[in-house]
Amino acid sequence: MCRHWNQVRRLTGRVVRGLIVTRAMSSGLTGVEAGKRAAARAAVDNHIKTGQAVGIGSGSTIVFAVERIAERVKSENLQLRCVPTSFQAKQLIQDNNLTLSSLETCPKLDVAIDGADEVDSQLNCIKGGGGCLTQEKIVASCAEEFIIIADYRKDTGALGTYWTKGIPIEVIPMAYKPIQIRVASELGGKADLRMANRKAGPVVTDNGNFILDWVAPTKTENWEFVNQQIKIIPGVLETGLFIKMARIAYFGNEDGSISTRSPPWLQSAGDR
């Protein structure tokens, strides 16, 4: 793992306050969208190579990553197998004429690239704003390298600073009410059933389940404990807390620069 950190240090530029910063080529986009594109393209260029099995995440930033993968497949004749984390990711893979695969045929992935709703200083993430948290976490757990791509807004010192909508929890529909009560009783705060915008009723995931969004009563740093406490409740399928999973994160800035962060423990390992 420290090998990947050192490789990225060589490829991406100078270190500034624990971040690696580099300048991306102009894309014609501005603001947040330019940042998303810059982060996505840098991650693809630094980590994707021929012969790999690649996990493809979900969300708006992933669109730019798949676009870049498709460009490189066409220009470099890369041989890749792409495993989606959602129906959206599957469509992106097919629309860009990439080779669609699955965990059944590729249970071990070389790399998985995905977005995030928020990332803290330890590279712990909140994911699930788009409702794909369970499949995203499964795919990420199967990858040797899990890489986060996001715009600069998602890079915060503590979870819950930017993403204030709560921690997504995917639950079995019949159990959502008991889970709401138990989460509030044991951890405080409130877990709201996520309602759909363009249909009557709750959001239904690709797995046919509901999502609760739990807002903690106070900020905490012990997210690993919180994650474990929620997951042991019967009826909970998965949480949107990705704890100690990401190996590197690319954050795209409005000016086209890219901040690259590795977890502190991985940096320390690389220095020894």
> 196 and 126 in one domain?
no
Q: What CATH number has the domain bearing residue 119?
A: 3.40.50.1360
Q: Are residues 66 and 34 in the same domain?
A: yes
- Integer distance in angstroms from the first to the last C-alpha of the chain? 13
Quote the DSSP letter at residue 174.
Answer: G
pTM over 0.85: yes
For residue 176, give both structure tokens. 């959502």
**What is the number of structural domains in the chain?**
2
The reply to whether 221 belongs to the active site is: no
User: Do 264 and 134 fall into the same domain?
Assistant: yes
Beta-bridge partners for 56: 84, 113
Scanning 48-103, the segments in alpha helix (DSSP H) are 60-76, 87-95
- Are 250 and 224 members of one domain? no
φ and ψ at residue 83, rounded to 5 degrees? -110, 120
149 and 36 share one domain? yes
Q: 159 vs 16, which has greater pLDDT?
A: 159
pLDDT for residue 86 is more than 80: yes
| 255 shares a domain with 179 | no
Cα-atom radius of gyration of the chain, to the nearest Å?
18
* Residue 198, phi then psi, degrees to nearest 5: -120, 20
φ/ψ (deg, to 5) at 24: -100, 160
Clarify whether residues 233 and 247 are in a common domain.
no
Structure confidence at residue 5 as a pLDDT band (50, 70, 90):
very low
Q: pLDDT of 51-68, one tens digit each?
A: 999 999 999 999 999 999
**Same domain flag for 149 and 256:** yes
Return the beta strands (E) in the chain as ranges. 14-16, 19-23, 53-56, 81-84, 109-114, 118-119, 125-126, 143-151, 167-171, 190-193, 210-215, 236-239, 241-242, 248-252, 257-261
Residue 231 and residue 103 share a domain: no
Q: Of 33, 67, 136, 224, which one is the catalytic site residue?
A: 136
- Asked if residue 254 and residue 154 are part of one domain, the reply reads yes
What is the tens place of the pLDDT at every residue in 204-261? 999 999 999 999 887 777 999 999 999 999 999 999 999 999 999 999 998 889 999 9
User: Vertex 66, ends 77 and 258: CA angle to 5°?
Assistant: 105
Q: Could you list the residue range(s) of the whole structural domain that residue 89 is in?
A: 2-158+243-271
113 and 186 belong to one structural domain: no
Residue 12 has pLDDT above 50, yes or no: no
Same domain, 142 and 183: no
DSSP-derived letter for residue 200 is S
pLDDT averaged over every residue in the chain: 89
How far is the C-alpha of 206 from the C-alpha of 209, rounded, in Å? 8
- For the domain that residue 202 is a member of, what is the CATH number? 3.30.70.260
